[in-house]
A and B are shown apart, each in its own frame.
Chain A
Amino acid sequence: QSVLTQPPSASETPGQRVTISCSGSSSNIGRNIVNWYQQLPGTAPKLLIYSNDQRPSGVPDRFSGSKSGTSASLAISGLQSEDEADYYCAAWDDSLNGVVFGGGTKLTVL
């Protein structure tokens, strides 16, 4: 059972927009930044969004992040087949004294 809660799956058709939620608490998302990772099948995770809403260089602006209170969201617009992957949120937890991850959301592009 993960400290951060994500829906296990999401799906949408190409070209559409999908949002993945990440729910936490006052000891993690409520106090600290949220980061998102994309894991394509059979590969290592890759940093997708850092510091709640910042994109590393090379990440398309179709990907965006936001945070409000103890929840965060990742939005992907203009969905493409290559976006099919597992997505993880993460944050530092002040109570557990460590980085905690969400359980991951498997995105299917129909």
Chain B
Amino acid sequence: QVQLQESGPGLLKPSQTLSLTCTVSGGSISSVDYYWSWIRQPPGKGLEWIGYIYYSGSTYYNPSLKSRVTISIATSKNQFSLKLSSVTAADTAVYYCVREDLENWFDPWGQGTLVTVSS
């Protein structure tokens, strides 16, 4: 079955750019049936959808983060990536990569990676 795995630095300083990659195994990221998404969860808090990318490269972002977010896709590597610029402590969270159905449910989820922003 499809599995997703996040990778990237776990500690950033304020104003830096967060960069994470999600590697998809057990299925093709070029499928027409799914979006590929990022969701985050600050420690002890709820879930926030960041945005998605389609195999074609089209993207859709949470309006509250849109000015700082870029999601890209590398179909040859079966990977997609997240960049979030100008991070602050408020961006400290567990970041999940997820497969998103075209009707916007999320399954499966990666195990998540904690990114801490601290000076």
A104 to B48 CA separation, bound complex (whole angstroms): 11
Return the contact of B110 from the options A44, A92, A96, A104 (Cβ within 8 A). Answer: A44
* Residues from chain B with Cβ under 8 Å of A63 in the complex: none
Q: Which of B65-119 contact A (CB under 8 A)?
A: 96, 101, 103-112
Return the contact of A100 from the options B49, B105, B110, B112 (Cβ within 8 A). Answer: B49
Tell whether B62 is near chain A: CB-to-CB under 8 Å: yes
* Residues from chain B with Cβ under 8 Å of A99 in the complex: 49, 104
Complex contact A98–B63 (CB within 8 A)? yes
Return the contact of B96 from the options A33, A44, A88 (Cβ within 8 A). Answer: A44
Tell whether A60 is near chain B: CB-to-CB under 8 Å: no
Complex contact A35–B47 (CB within 8 A)? no
Chain B positions within 8 Å of A, measured between CB atoms, are: 46-49, 51, 60-63, 96, 101, 103-112
Chain A positions within 8 Å of B, measured between CB atoms, are: 2, 32-33, 35, 37, 43-47, 50-51, 56, 88, 90-92, 96-104
Further 13 A-B residue pairs, CB within 8 A, beyond A35-B104, A37-B106: A35-B106, A44-B109, A44-B112, A47-B108, A50-B101, A50-B105, A50-B107, A88-B46, A96-B63, A98-B51, A98-B60, A99-B49, A101-B49
